[in-house]
Structure 1
Amino acid sequence: MSQIRDLIFSNGERYPILMEENGLPNYWVTLYVTEKLRTSHTQSAISNSLGHLIHLKLWENINDRNLVSEFEQGRLLNDEDVYSIRDHCTLDTRSLKKWLKTSEKTVVKFAAASTASVTPIQKVSNDHASNRMSQIASYLEFLARTILKTKLIEEEVSNNIEAMKSLLLANKPKGSSGKGLTADPNTKAPPPKAFERILSIVKETSPDNPFKGEEVKFRNALIFEVMEATGMRAGEILALQVGDIDFQRATVSVIRRHDAIEDPRKKQPVAKTNERVIPVTKALTDRVRKYIMEMRAEIPTATKHPYIFVTHKHGKYHGSPISNSTFVNRVLKPAVAIHPELLEEITRHGFRHNFNYKLSKKIDEVNQAAKEDSKANPINEKKEIQIRKELNGWSSDKTAETYNLRHIREEAERVMREDMDHWTNRAKKDK
């Protein structure tokens, strides 16, 4: 089965590549990535695209098709093929592979078929299926035009390729398009008390702390504290370097360093938003200093790179910057498992929403104080959006508004309840 591997070039560039079972890269997919994606897409975006093309190859295997061979013969996708690919794109890849593997091993007699247990194939969201169709349409257009490049002088050939792409795009499932409650990430975000609880769990002195070793306990507690205080993405925290902390001014800087030569990780954690400087408490930067000077400094290999958070487990990766998979499986999941009924909805991104929720509360406090003190300046809506954009590294006002929806809904509910209470009391008095 095809697999995605990440290469690191001498200049630090990360290059995801699709490897076949024979140990060689897939020629056509590699050509597509090199010509169409490499110059404009990040490592993560290219990997996502390769995942979509693996799903297309799975469709070819299931239907005993070879699109390269068919395109070479001038046979493009017909309507039925497009509908089949559309339906295939709604299925979860892992679930489908598992179902196919089970189906190959299990032979059910006809008489018993009606009572045989069948595990349903899980589906992906419409947005995910839509992204798949878009990437597949782009790839197949490239494939057809490259294979048939000598025939493109014929207007009919070029038009047929364009028609195939248009039909694929026309059959994309309709996503949420950022509308409605289902598209609002705040609706599924855990309540503020969930974040308070997880911070209490990971404190190095907590009896519920699931981690072993004083250094690991301190490191993990510090990671959660930085997430809570800054709203930074996990990738941004894993990419923090010693020089990004200003211990005198008590600030943390988020710097974009894509394809960094000094980063040994094949999947490099990077900043996805704009660079920014975030003010924090002196107490937090003091704890960062303590970790760097008293724990990280004790590992000789850790001094060979500038990344703050490192692996403390002895072995091959001792002292190396911790990877994204390590953070998810060895830091986040063990903490969530302590109180799953409350914390299971917590994700790394959830801290970002919680950060903005607390920011809204703080702005409310400032504006309330301004009402009571004529000399104080309130924060209007325009200024609030600018503050939010600056602290989160956003360019769009719309994104800033999205992260404030939970607070807006709370205020709307409060006003409605006050209004209902007013009329209820009024009705009682009239009696």
Structure 2
Amino acid sequence: MTVLAIKHIQFGHGERHKLLVSAQTGIPLYYPSLFITTHVRAGGLSVSTVQAALAAIKVLYAWQANQGINLEELFSTGRLLRREEIASLVGFSARLLREERGQQTAKVVTLKFNSGRAVTRKVCNVDAQTQFTRISTISKYLGFLAETLRVGRVSSAAESQVNTMVARLNACRPKVRNVTIVDRDEKGLDLNVVDQVLEYLWPDHPQNPFSNKEVQQRNYLIITLLRYLGIRRGELLNLRVEDVDFSKAVIKIVRRADSPLDSRRHQPLVKTAQRNIPINDALQEKLSDYILHCRAKLRQAKKHPYLFVTHKAGPSQGGPLSNSSFGKLMATIQGIANGYEVIHAHAFRHTWNYVFSKIIDEASNMTPEQEQKIRAYLMGWSETSDTANTYNKRHIKEKAAKAALEYQGALKIKKD
């Protein structure tokens, strides 16, 4: 069986791309490459979307190897997938591939029998959202493959058969809970804990988990920017020195997909709109100190414009801080404060919106329309976006609880 791998490539002008290749030879698979080029990359979709599409197609090829069939030969003869084959494919799409199993913890399922004896087994499955995405991509690819290989037999009947196969496959996708109705208020961080973490990350603090002085300054600044600007991880890692405009006291969030100046294998991307975020004197001082006294010491840092760099000795010292290094930073600071069990960069964005809502409540002269426009601009959303409702749920619940108690307080409830 041919082992497949997803290969990351970068063109001379900076564009990132991915291909499904044979792990033994490194040669790309023809039809998956054609599909990605004409249906995914041509649509201007991000490299992470290309990665997800190829991962789904990889599952499809693993399934056909498991079934002992060749889809390209099958479709060339005019035969499409039967109902039982679709059912088999849907079941297979829920599995973790062998190389993925070491990256996730298997679920333990208990099976009870009539005899009363119970046995347990490990089930290595992906979640419903991942399976839904896989089947959606696989159905598109199979439709593309069938239409491409049935050249010369194009007819309304043949087209109808392909559409039926695709529809049957999509109909088997698992139900996925609408993310807009998921209660996300728990994703925000307790403000007392956030303050405690910032206190411990202060350079030279005895509880600071990092020993290098420059690393301490960098990490404190990173968490401070996440806390007080509410920016995303990709936006933070995409910051360049030139984006800090000290003359105007702003930080510029700029979209730079496929920049040739970014040497990182997986380029951090800005998903939101470009904008200028005001920064106060304290933030400007911290940024200036890091740029002039920490970053400037590293020779390699002078060869690229990115603000945050690697300080650890080695070949990557002075290079742009990578996604993986940022992940290690976040993992290290977990647990340094009381009750600080889980921390991730996006939680600070939820916290920012919670604090912003409380501040707006105190600004009685601001209309709801003005609040929405201001919040949308600072977060990089469109003015008509409903995203604010997702991030503001924690504050809304608090206001609802307060209103409910005030209402109950107005009632005369007879006591025993």
CA drift at 1:306 = 0.5
CA drift at 1:57 = 2.5
Q: 1:385 aligns with which of 372, 376, 387?
A: 372
Tell me if structure 2 keeps the 8 A contact 1:140–1:165: yes
Residue in structure 1 matched with residue 201 of structure 2 by the alignment:
202
Residue 289 of structure 2 is aligned to residue 290 of structure 1: yes
Give deviations 1:121-161, integer Å, cap 9, x for gaps: 2431x333222211111111111111222322x32222111
Residue in structure 2 matched with residue 338 of structure 1 by the alignment:
336
Give deviations 1:212-248, integer Å, cap 9, x for gaps: 3111111111111111111111011001001111113
Tell me if structure 2 keeps the 8 A contact 1:385–1:401: no
CA drift at 1:267 = 1.0
Aligned length: 399
Residue in structure 1 matched with residue 355 of structure 2 by the alignment:
358
Tell me if structure 2 keeps the 8 A contact 1:336–1:346: yes
Tell me if structure 2 keeps the 8 A contact 1:6–1:16: yes
**Compared CA separation, residues 343 and 122, structure 1 to 2 (3 A):** farther
Structure 2 counterparts to residues 73-84 of structure 1, below 5 A: 73-84=77-88
Residue in structure 2 matched with residue 277 of structure 1 by the alignment:
276
Residue in structure 2 matched with residue 222 of structure 1 by the alignment:
221
Give deviations 1:82-102, integer Å, cap 9, x for gaps: 222223333344687469xx9
**In 2: Cα distance, 1:422 partner to 1:115 partner:** 56
Structure 2: gaps (5+ residues): 107-116
**In 2: Cα distance, 1:393 partner to 1:98 partner:** 37
**Compared CA separation, residues 422 and 328, structure 1 to 2 (3 A):** same
Residue in structure 2 matched with residue 70 of structure 1 by the alignment:
74
Counterpart residue identity of residue 162, structure 2: I
Identity %: 33
**In 2: Cα distance, 1:256 partner to 1:383 partner:** 26
Structure 1: gaps (5+ residues): 103-113, 368-377
Give deviations 1:159-188, integer Å, cap 9, x for gaps: 1111111112222212222343xx233344
Residue in structure 2 matched with residue 155 of structure 1 by the alignment:
156
SS of alignment partner, residue 302 of structure 1: helix
Structure 2 counterparts to residues 113-262 of structure 1, below 5 A: 118-124=121-127, 126-152=128-154, 154-180=155-181, 183-262=182-261
Q: 1:420 aligns with which of 403, 408, 411?
A: 408
**In 1: Cα distance, 2:10 partner to 2:363 partner:** 49
Tell me if structure 1 keeps the 8 A contact 2:235–2:269: yes
Tell me if structure 1 keeps the 8 A contact 2:353–2:391: yes
Counterpart residue identity of residue 382, structure 1: E
The answer to which structure has the higher helix fraction is 1
Counterpart residue identity of residue 71, structure 1: F
CA RMSD in angstroms comes to 2.3
Tell me if structure 1 keeps the 8 A contact 2:215–2:311: yes
**In 2: Cα distance, 1:380 partner to 1:149 partner:** 60
Counterpart residue identity of residue 52, structure 1: A
Tell me if structure 1 keeps the 8 A contact 2:40–2:50: yes
SS of alignment partner, residue 123 of structure 2: coil
TM-score for the superposition, normalised by structure 2: 0.89
SS of alignment partner, residue 350 of structure 2: helix
Tell me if structure 2 keeps the 8 A contact 1:194–1:342: yes
Give deviations 1:275-309, integer Å, cap 9, x for gaps: 01111221112111111111111111111111000
TM-score for the superposition, normalised by structure 1: 0.86
**In 1: Cα distance, 2:148 partner to 2:217 partner:** 55
